[in-house]
C-alpha cells in the first residue's frame, strides 16, 4: 500500500515495516507486512484474533524479533535492538502493573530506571496522574483499583517517559461498554494533547473507526487494506475488509452480471439500500433487484430486513427508524418488494 | 408458579434430597462438619503435644534421684544456656543457614529455567527429576551418600580420575569444615543436607515464578530496565515469598534432622541427635523439650523478620 500522506513529508515515518515476517514454527503470524506509520498519527491495527496485529505490535516494542524483514522507528533500524533501548512504550492488554508497587511507583518506574532524582520523579508522577484523571492515587496498590483505573495507570506509566511512539495492545478490551466508549474519547484527547504517535491494536471495528486517523486491516498475517476510517468503510478493497468492518452484502459475479451487466465481486453496505414498492420507477444511475421480505428485526435505531432475492441469494437492508411508529406499515413479512440503491455505492472488490 | 412452589413445599422428600436441602440452607453446619475431623486431629496430635512439650521444658531433672520434677522452674533453661549446649545450637543453626543459602543459589536458576523456558517433555522430565528422589526412602539416600563420600566411594574415585585429589585434600585440610574423609566432615554433611532438601526449595520458587506474568517482564523492559534491573526490581520481590517458603523447609528440616548428623560427619553434636539421645538413653525429657523449643523459637523469629522486611507483601 502506498502512503500518500508520507510523500510530501521530509521526516522519516514514525514506524516503517519493510517485508517483515515472523514465523512461530509453521505458523506465519506475520507474513510479509509493509507499512509506514506517520509521526503523530493515531494508527489502528484491526483484525480478528490470530491475524498478526498483536505480533506486529510486539515487533515494534521489541518483544519479538522478525524472522526476516526490516523495522525502522524514526528512521533508525531497530530490528535487533532490545525493548529497553527503544524509544517506545507500551500499554499492555492486561495492563501489566507491578503488583508489589504502589500506583506512584508504577508510574515512576521508567524514571527510576533512568535515575531521575526523587523530587522531580514525584512531581512528574503527580502531573501524569492528573493527566489521566487519577489525582491522589499514588499510594494505592494496583489491586485496590478498578479495571478502568488500572488502565489509566498503565497509560500514565507509559506516557511519563515521553515516548515518540506509544503502543496500545487492546487496552480497552476488559472494560464494560460505557467505560470503553468514555476511554475511547479520552485516549483520543490525550493523544491530541501529548502529540505522540499512537499505535492501537484492536479487534473491535467500531473502536478502530471511532478513534483512528488511519487503520490497517489485518487478516492471516497480511495487511488487507490501509486507509482512513472512511476509506476502509466506504471503499473496502477486499472481500475480507467488506465483511469484517461493518457488514456488507456480497454480490457475486453471476448476480453482478444480472444487476449491473458486468461480472465481478461487489460489496454493498446494507444502509445504502432502500426498500420501495415492487413496481417503482428506477433512475438511470440506480440499481434494483426484487425479492421477498424474509425477516424483520427491530434494533432500536434501525430495523434490519433480510430479503430473499428472486434471482437467488439474500440481501440485508438497514433502514433508520425515523418515526416513532412501532413498525413500518408498508413493509411486512413475506411482502414482495423492490430494493434500489445508487450505482456508485457498489464497491468492486479485488481478488 | 404459586402452585408449583406449594407442590415443592409439600412433596415428600427422599433422605438425600432432604439432606442436600438442609445443607444448602445451613452452610455453617456444613463448615463445622467438614472441619470437625481435621481440626480435632490438629488439636489433639499437633497443638496439644507441642504445648505439653513446652510445659515439660519448664520441668527439671533432680540431680540426686535422676527423676523428673514436675514443678515449673527455669533450671532446665539454665542448663540449655550453658556454653557446651549453646555450641550445639550455634553449630546446628550455622549448618541450617549455610544449607538454606546454597539451596537457594542452586534452586533458583533451575526453578527459573523450569518456570520460564522449559516446555513439554523436557519440563515433565525436569519435574520428574526434582520429585523422583522424594519418592525413594530418605534413609536409603543418606546411606547412599555415605558410600559415595567414603574413602572407597565414587567421589574419591572421581577426584582421582580428574587428577584433583589436591583440591580434595585441600578442602579436607580446611579448619572446622574439613576432616579425615568427606563422609567424616562437616563438608560432607553439608553436601548431603543440600542435596536432600533441594526439592523443597525448587518447588516453592518454581511455583512463585510461574505466577509472575510474562507481561510484567515485558513491561519492565519496555520502560527501559535492563534484564538485571528487572530481576532485582520485579522478579526477585515477586518470587521472594517462594524463597521464604522454601527456606522455611530447608532451614527447619536441617534444624530438626537427626539422621544425617548421625550417619555422616565427625560425630559432633547437632540438635536432632542430642534430642534423640536426651529423651532416649539419658532420660532427660525436660532438656530434650527445651532443645526442641529452640528451632521453634528460631523459626518464629525468622518468620517475623521475613514479614517485617516485606517478604509477604507480594502475596
Element (H, E) at A219: strand A214-219
- Please say if the pLDDT value at position A6 is more than 50: no
Q: Which of B222, B225, B226 sits opposite A89 (nearest CB)?
A: B222
Q: Which of B215, B226, B238 sits opposite A84 (nearest CB)?
A: B226
Q: Are B191 and B103 in contact (CB under 8 A)?
A: no
**Does B215 contact A96 at a Cβ distance shorter than 8 Å?**
yes
**Does B218 contact A92 at a Cβ distance shorter than 8 Å?**
yes
pLDDT at A83: 94
Least Cα separation, residue A40 to chain B (angstroms): 20
> What is the pairing mode between strands A302-309 and A286-298?
antiparallel
**Does B219 contact A98 at a Cβ distance shorter than 8 Å?**
yes
As a whole number of angstroms, the distance between CA A238 and CA B110 comes to: 51
CA dihedral A50, A56, A59, A61 (to 10 degrees): -110
pLDDT at A351: 63
Q: Which residue of B has its CA nearest to A109?
A: B223
Radius of gyration of chain B (CA): 27
Scan for cell 526434582, then name that residue: B130
**Does B216 contact A98 at a Cβ distance shorter than 8 Å?**
yes
> What is the pairing mode between strands A274-276 and A336-342?
antiparallel
Helix or strand or coil: residue A157?
helix
The upper half-sphere exposure of residue B89, i.e. CA atoms within 13 Å in the direction of its Cβ, equals 19
- Whether the CB of B312 is below 8 Å from some CB of chain A: the reply is no
pLDDT at A10: 54
pLDDT at A79: 86
Q: Which of B215, B226, B237 sits opposite A100 (nearest CB)?
A: B237
- Please say if the pLDDT value at position A44 is more than 60: yes
> What is the pairing mode between strands A314-320 and A336-342?
unpaired
Confidence of residue B108 (pLDDT cuts 50, 70, 90): very high
- Chain A residues touching residue B223 (CB < 8 angstroms): 84, 89, 109-110, 113, 157-158, 161
- Whether the CB of B313 is below 8 Å from some CB of chain A: the reply is yes
Chain A interface, best mutation among B219, B228, B236, B239, by max A CB count within 10 A: B219
Q: Looking at residues A116-145, what average pLDDT do you find?
A: 92
| Percent share of chain B, pLDDT over 70 | 95
pLDDT at B311: 67
Q: What is the interface size between A and B, counted as CB pairs within 8 Å?
A: 62
For B48-101, what is each residue's pLDDT tens digit?
A: 999 999 999 999 888 888 788 888 888 889 989 999 999 999 999 999 999 999
For A206-252, what is each residue's pLDDT tens digit?
A: 999 999 999 999 999 999 999 999 999 999 999 999 999 988 999 98
- Whether the CB of B225 is below 8 Å from some CB of chain A: the reply is yes
Confidence of residue B5 (pLDDT cuts 50, 70, 90): low
- Chain B residues touching residue A94 (CB < 8 angstroms): 213, 215
Burial state string for A96-132 with b = 16 or more CB within 10 A and e = fewer than 16: bbbbbbbbbbbbbbbbbbeebeeeebeebbbebbebb
Least Cα separation, residue A36 to chain B (angstroms): 22
**Does A96 contact B219 at a Cβ distance shorter than 8 Å?**
yes
**Does A109 contact B220 at a Cβ distance shorter than 8 Å?**
yes
- Please say if the pLDDT value at position B315 is more than 70: no
Q: Looking at residues B238-266, what average pLDDT do you find?
A: 90
As a whole number of angstroms, the distance between CA A33 and CA A225 comes to: 11
Burial of A185 (0-12, 13-18, 19+ CB in 10 A): exposed
Residues sharing a CB contact under 8 Å with residue B232, sequence separation 6 or more, in sequence order = none
Burial state string for A225-252 with b = 16 or more CB within 10 A and e = fewer than 16: bbbebeebbeebbbbbbbebbbebbbbe
pLDDT at A7: 45
Confidence of residue A9 (pLDDT cuts 50, 70, 90): very low
pLDDT at A144: 93
For A266-301, what is each residue's pLDDT tens digit?
A: 999 999 999 988 888 888 889 999 999 999 988 888
> What is the pairing mode between strands A15-24 and A27-37?
antiparallel
Q: Write the CA distances from B82 to A134, A217, B59, B274, integer angstroms.
A: 61, 80, 17, 15
Chain A interface, best mutation among B211, B212, B223, by max A CB count within 10 A: B223
The listed range with the strongest mean pLDDT (A131-140, A174-183, B259-268) is A131-140
- Whether the CB of B238 is below 8 Å from some CB of chain A: the reply is yes
Q: Are A287 and A340 in contact (CB under 8 A)?
A: yes
| Percent share of chain B, pLDDT over 90 | 53
Q: Which residue of A has its CA nearest to B217?
A: A96
For B112-141, what is each residue's pLDDT tens digit?
A: 999 888 888 999 999 999 999 888 899 999
Residue count of chain A: 351
Q: Looking at residues B181-194, what average pLDDT do you find?
A: 89
pLDDT at B1: 46
Q: Which of A63, A89, A100 sits opposite B313 (nearest CB)?
A: A100
- Chain A residues touching residue B224 (CB < 8 angstroms): 84, 110, 113-114, 161
Radius of gyration of chain A (CA): 24
For B204-224, what is each residue's pLDDT tens digit?
A: 999 999 999 999 999 999 999
Least Cα separation, residue B27 to chain A (angstroms): 29
Confidence of residue B171 (pLDDT cuts 50, 70, 90): confident
Q: Are B291 and B285 in contact (CB under 8 A)?
A: no
Amino acid at each position: 500500500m502506498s502512503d500518500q500522506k508520507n510523500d510530501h513529508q521530509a521526516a522519516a515515518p514514525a514506524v516503517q515495516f519493510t517485508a517483515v515476517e515472523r514465523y512461530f514454527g509453521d505458523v506465519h503470524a506475520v507474513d510479509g507486512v509493509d507499512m509506514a506509520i506517520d509521526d503523530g498519527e493515531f494508527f489502528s491495527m484491526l483484525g480478528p484474533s490470530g491475524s498478526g496485529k498483536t505480533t506486529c505490535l510486539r515487533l515494534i516494542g521489541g518483544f519479538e524479533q522478525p524472522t526476516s524483514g526490516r523495522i525502522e522507528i524514526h528512521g533508525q533500524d531497530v530490528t535487533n535492538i532490545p525493548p529497553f533501548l527503544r524509544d517506545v512504550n507500551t500499554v499492555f492488554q492486561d495492563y501489566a502493573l507491578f503488583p508489589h508497587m504502589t500506583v506512584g511507583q508504577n508510574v515512576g518506574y521508567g524514571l527510576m530506571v533512568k535515575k531521575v532524582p526523587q523530587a522531580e520523579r514525584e512531581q512528574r508522577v503527580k502531573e501524569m496522574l492528573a493527566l489521566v484523571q487519577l489525582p491522589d492515587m499514588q499510594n494505592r496498590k494496583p489491586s485496590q483499583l478498578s479495571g478502568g483505573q488500572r488502565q489509566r495507570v498503565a497509560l500514565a506509566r507509559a506516557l511519563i517517559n515521553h515516548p515518540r511512539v506509544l503502543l496500545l495492545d487492546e487496552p480497552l478490551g476488559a472494560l464494560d461498554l460505557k467505560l470503553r466508549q468514555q476511554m475511547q474519547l479520552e485516549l483520543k484527547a490525550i493523544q491530541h494533547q501529548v502529540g505522540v504517535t499512537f499505535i492501537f491494536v484492536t479487534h473491535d471495528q467500531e473502536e478502530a473507526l471511532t478513534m483512528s486517523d488511519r487503520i490497517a486491516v489485518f487478516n492471516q498475517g497480511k495487511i488487507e487494506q490501509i486507509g482512513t476510517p472512511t476509506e476502509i468503510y466506504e471503499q473496502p478493497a477486499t472481500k475480507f475488509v467488506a465483511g469484517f468492518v461493518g457488514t456488507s452484502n456480497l454480490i457475486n459475479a453471476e448476480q453482478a452480471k444480472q444487476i449491473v451487466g458486468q461480472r465481478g465481486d461487489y460489496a454493498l453496505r446494507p444502509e445504502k439500500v432502500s426498500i420501495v414498492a415492487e413496481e417503482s420507477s428506477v433512475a438511470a444511475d440506480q440499481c434494483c433487484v426484487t425479492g421477498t421480505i424474509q425477516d424483520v428485526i427491530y434494533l432500536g435505531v434501525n430495523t434490519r430486513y433480510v430479503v430473499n432475492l428472486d434471482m437467488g441469494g439474500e440481501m440485508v437492508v438497514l433502514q433508520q427508524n425515523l418515526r416513532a411508529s412501532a413498525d413500518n406499515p408498508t413493509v411486512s413479512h413475506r411482502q414482495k418488494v423492490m430494493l434500489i440503491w445508487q450505482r456508485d455505492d457498489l464497491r468492486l472488490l479485488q481478488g | 408458579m404459586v402452585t408449583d412452589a406449594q407442590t415443592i413445599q409439600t412433596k415428600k422428600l427422599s433422605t438425600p434430597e432432604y439432606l442436600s436441602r438442609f445443607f444448602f440452607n445451613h452452610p455453617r453446619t456444613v463448615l463445622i462438619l467438614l472441619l470437625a475431623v481435621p481440626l480435632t486431629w490438629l488439636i489433639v496430635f499437633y497443638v496439644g503435644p507441642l504445648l505439653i512439650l513446652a510445659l515439660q521444658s519448664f520441668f527439671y531433672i533432680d540431680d540426686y534421684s535422676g527423676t523428673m520434677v514436675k514443678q515449673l522452674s527455669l533450671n532446665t533453661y539454665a542448663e540449655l544456656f550453658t556454653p557446651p549446649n549453646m555450641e550445639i545450637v550455634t553449630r546446628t543453626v550455622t549448618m541450617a543457614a549455610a544449607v538454606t543459602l546454597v539451596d537457594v543459589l542452586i534452586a533458583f536458576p533451575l526453578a527459573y529455567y523450569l518456570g520460564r523456558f522449559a516446555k513439554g517433555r523436557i519440563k515433565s522430565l525436569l519435574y520428574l527429576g526434582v520429585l523422583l528422589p522424594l519418592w525413594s526412602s530418605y534413609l536409603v539416600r543418606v546411606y547412599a551418600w555415605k558410600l559415595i563420600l567414603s574413602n572407597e566411594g565414587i567421589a574419591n574415585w572421581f577426584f582421582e580420575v580428574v587428577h584433583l585429589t589436591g583440591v580434595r585434600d585441600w578442602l579436607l585440610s580446611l579448619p572446622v569444615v574439613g576432616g579425615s574423609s568427606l563422609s567424616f566432615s562437616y563438608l560432607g554433611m553439608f553436601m548431603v543436607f543440600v542435596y536432600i532438601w533441594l526439592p523443597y526449595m525448587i518447588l516453592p520458587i518454581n511455583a512463585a515464578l510461574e505466577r509472575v506474568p510474562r507481561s510484567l517482564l515485558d513491561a519492565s523492559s519496555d520502560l527501559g530496565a535492563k534484564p538485571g534491573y528487572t530481576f532485582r526490581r520485579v522478579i526477585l520481590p515477586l518470587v521472594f515469598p517462594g524463597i521464604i517458603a522454601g527456606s522455611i523447609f530447608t532451614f527447619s528440616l536441617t534444624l530438626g534432622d537427626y539422621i544425617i548428623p548421625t550417619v555422616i560427619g565427625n560425630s559432633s553434636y547437632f540438635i536432632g541427635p542430642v534430642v534423640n539421645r536426651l529423651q532416649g538413653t539419658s532420660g532427660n525429657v525436660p532438656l530434650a523439650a527445651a532443645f526442641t523449643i529452640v528451632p521453634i523459637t528460631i523459626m518464629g523469629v525468622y518468620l517475623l523478620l521475613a514479614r517485617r522486611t516485606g517478604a509477604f507483601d507480594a502475596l
